[in-house]
Structure 1
Amino acid sequence: MKKVKVNINKKAQQRLNMIGKEVRLMSSLDHKNILKLHQIYRNKDQNHVYVFLEYAEHGSIETLLNQNTKFSLADKLSIIKQISRALRYLNQKGFVHGDIKPGNILVDTNGRVLLGDFGSAHPIQKEAQDLGSPAYLAPECLEIDDEDFDKEKSHEKEDIWSLGVTFYQLLFNSLPFSGDSVYEINHNIKSNNIIIPSGIPANVKELLLSMLEVNPEKRISVSEILSNPLISRANDSLVNLPTPPKVDAVIEKDIKYVKASECFIDSSLQTYLLRSLKKSRLVLAFEQVGEGIVNFLKSIPHSCI
């Protein structure tokens, strides 16, 4: 569960509008590699918005990398395959994600990869209003004030660049382009100073460079990625993963509800969960992740208990 504190002012209203946009998009998406939105609840008294999301037991790819998880090449290719499938679906729905990076790619207990955080998503034919993380942004996004930048062009290849940066990070545990500012990052990209360490297969290098093509018109498309033999033959799930963290929750079978300590769930939210989510035949699990915050862990049908 994602909890967002909202104060009633102009900035907060903008934040609410952004949350609303993200929620509306996520609620319209249904794909096995896209994080599902289950419910949204706003506590008007405390000015909090609670967004209930599908639980990914392993957390994000970023977290796994920070934990020194060693992904096999097969799993790295599987990540690219699964996210490419999510992007193809998103493009078919007319949208660009806008913030592909390891922190927004999650993994569940079955090795299924899930794309999350749609706060920077925008229609394919429109420029992004909320830019994603600079280190992962495509060069054309870093030059939106350039007179040659065509705002009416299709922008789906922005995500391919970001996925390429993510692929590079998976392969070499570093970023291909970095800098202390957007200007410096853009300068390094334009200088074409990408360093490919030795030791990777030639076909993997070729795929990586095709994703990190500065010219979006020459950059590989998501369909071409999925038809690449490396990707088409890749596994549909990750196979070499560490044991996920344990869920500390108590099942109350009489009400089919799983809860954390009451001090971490305010009474109005708890009432909402019992009345509303129980009706949707979900079993809820929570985990304390910080003061005043609970994390939605998973949902399972009553019949599974």
Structure 2
Amino acid sequence: MSDTPRVLGHRYEVGDLIGRGGMAQVHLGYDTRLSRTVAIKILRTDLAQDPMFLARFRREAQSAAALNHPSIVSVYDTGEEQIVSTMGKEIPLPYIVMEYVKGRTVASLLTDGDPVPISEAVQIIVGVLSALEYSHHEGIIHRDIKPGNVMLTPDGKVKVMDFGIARAIADSAATMTQTNSVVGTAQYLSPEQARGEVVDARSDLYSAGCLFYELLTGKPPFTGDSAVSVAYQHVSETPRPASLIAPDIPDSIDRVVMKSLAKGRDNRYQSAAEFREDVLSAARGEGVDAPSVTSWNMRPIPVLAPTQVATAVEGNPTTGTMAALSEQDPEDTGVQPAVDEKSKKRDKIMIWAGVIILILAIAGIVYAITTSGDDDEPTPTPTATAVQMVDVPSLDGLDRNGIQSALEDAGLVYKAGIPQPDDNVEQGYFISSTPTPGTSVERGSEVEVILSSGPDSVQVPDIVGKTTSEASSLLADQGLRIGSSET
């Protein structure tokens, strides 16, 4: 197959190779129309005829192009160049033109296994969470947050990149259910990804928690001889508290890290904004909305056999990306769960044994009833314990702590739902619940509560006749910022 073209789209000059991955190569480039240096990501020519890699590459372009945030590497343009293969056939070679970021990856900071200063770790994770908050709001789940996908510029800014396996929130459930595939990198894989379950925004927050843990301690929360063993630990084991590895870590930060690494999604932070607020509060020495570190050791953890955890393929066993290609969905990348024939036979034996025991038990009961004498006194039937019913209390105007206290006082269990935007309710306060307030339910029942994530839109202030600084200030008050301007 011919070499990479030197000019793409009659506009972008392709320069030196500055990065290489399993799917694409990144070249330094020059935009001749706008006279600026860019980075050009080009699909490897030997994969250009593979429909699965083409689909994944195009999906990355679509996902990243939809995002415009200071902490996300910007995508300027995408396109496809027609090249001629060695067989003389014309094939498309897709490329992505991106912002050229000077700096280095977070992975390069951690190569020697030493932690970074706590203040720097906080700065990095806050930048990552800001990027995730924006991408989740736009409906995109990254699914591969790791040190190699986070850049640091010389002036300390954080840039998240590589949305190669990102998925829209709306179609994540269908994709994962249909293919039962796993995507991500083993050391930063959420438990639900390892089990091949539906992913959501909280899966990214777990991976961000793994990154935060490694920044603070110099090592990821779980290590092993293979990607399978690491994924199994993510599903079934509680990580050592970060403070046991680095004793200078404050208790408040330790609690934040452990909450972000909770196995159950409902026990983690429910949004990137909530995670970021606790990180900043912990860095300032203030209180955080996270339980004590020791409480996580008392929580039940689902125990799965290693064969129930998706099997990794190819690559370094301790850092390899779990990215086998699913035959059922050419647009997805992932790993199929291993099949254990011995386990299948053992399960069949156990099922038949259970059936036989059940038949014998029924036969014994029938025999006892038919042979019992008529003169026997009937055995009194124990009176069933009365079910205690309680009403779901009114939760209007309460934040999470107030809601949890009100439900506990009523003998009910708080369950966090996914926050929803609301123009009339302040962020973090009650919107609705299931069951609704006033409903009579059994004591001890769960009540799923939806909190407000703040207004979905804001009113653009009138900045006509204002200076640039005055306009910027007015926009900032509404959570907005100046985009392009023309004099």
* Partner Cα separation in structure 1 for residue 160 and residue 48 of structure 2: 31
Superposition deviation, residue 108 in structure 1: 1.9
Superposition deviation, residue 29 in structure 1: 0.8
1:140 aligns to 2:178 (yes or no): no
Segments of 5+ residues of structure 1 without an aligned counterpart are 235-305
* Partner Cα separation in structure 1 for residue 117 and residue 189 of structure 2: 26
* Partner Cα separation in structure 1 for residue 47 and residue 211 of structure 2: 37
Segments of 5+ residues of structure 2 without an aligned counterpart are 1-38, 85-91, 285-487
Superposition deviation, residue 231 in structure 1: 5.5
Q: 1:181 to 1:70 in 2, by over 3 A?
A: closer
2:250 counterpart residue number: 201
1:28 aligns to 2:66 (yes or no): yes
The one-letter amino acid of 1:136's match is Y
1:211 counterpart residue number: 260
Q: SS where residue 228 of structure 1 aligns?
A: helix
Q: SS where residue 217 of structure 1 aligns?
A: helix
2:45 counterpart residue number: 6
2:207 counterpart residue number: 162
Match of 1:77 among 107, 113, 122: 122
Superposition deviation, residue 163 in structure 1: 0.6
Match of 2:109 among 64, 68, 83: 64
With normalisation by structure 2, the TM-score equals 0.43
Q: 1:183 to 1:111 in 2, by over 3 A?
A: same
1:223 aligns to 2:242 (yes or no): no
Q: 1:233 to 1:182 in 2, by over 3 A?
A: closer
1:172 aligns to 2:217 (yes or no): yes
Superposition deviation, residue 120 in structure 1: 1.3
Superposition deviation, residue 17 in structure 1: 1.3
* Partner Cα separation in structure 2 for residue 120 and residue 176 of structure 1: 23
Superposition deviation, residue 38 in structure 1: 1.6
1:191 counterpart residue number: 237
Q: SS where residue 97 of structure 2 aligns?
A: strand
Give the conservation status (yes or no) of the 8 Å contact 2:202–2:265.
yes
Identity across matched positions, percent: 24
* Partner Cα separation in structure 1 for residue 237 and residue 139 of structure 2: 32
* Partner Cα separation in structure 2 for residue 21 and residue 52 of structure 1: 14
* 1:36-91 deviation digits (Å, cap 9, x = unpaired): 01223433226644322212211211123337887321111011111111111111
2:467 counterpart residue number: none
Higher-Rg structure is 2
Higher relative contact order (CA 8 A, sep 6+): 1
2:152 counterpart residue number: 107
* Partner Cα separation in structure 2 for residue 231 and residue 112 of structure 1: 20
The one-letter amino acid of 1:216's match is R
* Partner Cα separation in structure 2 for residue 158 and residue 39 of structure 1: 29
Give the conservation status (yes or no) of the 8 Å contact 1:95–1:124.
yes
Give the conservation status (yes or no) of the 8 Å contact 2:42–2:94.
yes
1:44 aligns to 2:79 (yes or no): no
1:123 counterpart residue number: 168
Q: SS where residue 53 of structure 1 aligns?
A: strand
Give the conservation status (yes or no) of the 8 Å contact 1:57–1:109.
yes
Q: SS where residue 45 of structure 1 aligns?
A: strand
* Partner Cα separation in structure 1 for residue 66 and residue 48 of structure 2: 29
Give the conservation status (yes or no) of the 8 Å contact 1:35–1:115.
yes
1:256 counterpart residue number: none
* Partner Cα separation in structure 1 for residue 191 and residue 280 of structure 2: 26
* Partner Cα separation in structure 2 for residue 232 and residue 200 of structure 1: 11
Q: SS where residue 43 of structure 1 aligns?
A: strand
Superposition deviation, residue 19 in structure 1: 0.9
* Partner Cα separation in structure 2 for residue 203 and residue 232 of structure 1: 5
Q: 1:178 to 1:206 in 2, by over 3 A?
A: same
* 1:87-134 deviation digits (Å, cap 9, x = unpaired): 111111112110000000012232110110001111224245661111
Q: 1:71 to 1:194 in 2, by over 3 A?
A: closer
Q: How many residues align?
A: 228
